[in-house]
Amino acid sequence: MSPGPPLPRTGVTHTLRAMRVLVTGGAGFIGSHIADRLTADGHEVVLLDALLPQAHGGRAPEWISSHELVQGDVRDPEVLRRLLPAVDAVCHQAAMVGHGVDPSDGPDFASNNDLGTAVLLAAMHEAKVSRMVLAGSMVVYGEGRYDCPEHGVVRPGPRAFADIDAGRFEPLCPECGRDLVSGLVPESAQLDPRSTYAATKLAQEHLCSAWARQTGGTVWALRYHNVYGARMPRDTPYSGVASIFRSALERGEGPRVMEDGLQRRDFVHVSDVAAANALALAAEPTSTGFGAANVCSGEPHTILDLATELATAMNGPAPQVVGGARPGDVRHVVADPSYAKERLGFRAATGFAEGVAAFATDPLRSPAGLNA
């Protein structure tokens, strides 16, 4: 769901009053950082988290001990009816994330992400809570932006497994077969989810957009790019690539980098993501009430850059480039940060080298089996 062209205005306007904010998924990686940031900014937070055993070992992590926590499922309307009348806004971070294992994960992704969002939106309407910030994702774009010298901006189709097996990783122009140039993806780009998770994240945006139009409410969907930092989950099929690389290095193994390692991404530190949520909570709405904005560092790097930088910071073995690709993997997704800067006043503060060096020793969320 594109936010459309920017609205004319004289500058970024933010509401400064303190709010009581419900953070769903508040015990998790990003949600807990958002709670810390909002509290530091003078807001009051209440966290809702199911504390699923596979994620938390069934108990709350120590880093949320200073916040009010309600254990419950965002899909439970009774829990929401108790909480929402006392809040001014919602930061909706609760979700099932990652590539998953195989298509059998589909019902769980749809239930947690889409049903959960629909139940939450209905309860917000009932409680007359009109402002939400949604944890969106860059996966809604599929492949990033590509330019053909002859045909301009084009959308390459899915890469053939035969090409990947042969080491041909770059997508080609669907019109003439020529090499393409990867560029920055704006929020107005065509959306093309290529995994079950991606499809559910786009459905969340559609649900929020419809709700905003129907109710007059405001939703900012923040399309997170590759988030990393302290409290990341580790050693699960749903972990982010930074966590996977660090776990390998801690075992004394070089990170295994798929394809040729030259896939380009935007790695954004979790502290910057938390800052973007705080800004979006107070930002003026678009004409429809729904807006989507890239949350990124604006500093593109390759997957191999990340693996190499982390290996250096941890004094570990060099990365191993192993080829291949997972189903649903795309080649390049590099974000245009200008819309978030213009509409939200957001600009990332943590540089790549600084953030990765800190991540080498940051506390991570241990596998549930180690928390029991």
Q: Which residues lie across from 321 on neighbouring strands?
A: 257
**Angle separating helix axes 116-127 and 196-215, nearest 10 degrees:** 20
Residues 6+ apart with CB under 8 A from 38: 21, 23, 45, 91, 277, 278, 281
Encode 97-142 in three state secondary structure.
CCCCCCHHHHHHHHHHHHHHHHHHHHHHHHHCCCEEEEEEEHHHHC
Which tokens is 313 given? 């910071």
Alpha helices in 1-48 (DSSP H): 29-40
Residues 6+ apart with CB under 8 A from 164: 259, 323, 324, 325
Q: Are 269 and 229 in contact (CB under 8 A)?
A: yes
Residue 15 has pLDDT above 60, yes or no: no
pLDDT class of 12 with cuts at 50, 70, 90: low
Residue 30 has pLDDT above 90, yes or no: yes
- CA 75 and chain centroid, separation: 20
In whole angstroms, give the CA distance from residue 59 to residue 78. Answer: 22
In whole angstroms, give the CA distance from residue 268 to residue 357. Answer: 13
Q: What is the mean pLDDT of residues 28-45?
A: 97
Residue 2 has pLDDT above 60, yes or no: no
What domains are there in the chain, each with its CATH number?
20-98+106-145+183-360 (3.40.50.720)
pLDDT value at position 298?
Answer: 93
Question: 274-327: per-residue pLDDT in tens?
Answer: 999 999 999 999 999 999 999 999 999 999 999 999 999 999 999 999 999 987
Q: Which amino acid is at 252?
A: G
Q: Which amino acid is at 102?
A: D
Question: 155-207: per-residue pLDDT in tens?
Answer: 998 888 899 999 999 999 999 999 999 999 999 999 999 889 999 999 999 99
Report, in angstroms and rounded to the nearest whole number, the Rg of the chain calculated over CA atoms: 20
Q: What is the mean pLDDT of residues 129-156?
A: 96
Higher pLDDT, 224 or 161: 224
pLDDT value at position 367?
Answer: 60
pLDDT value at position 29?
Answer: 95
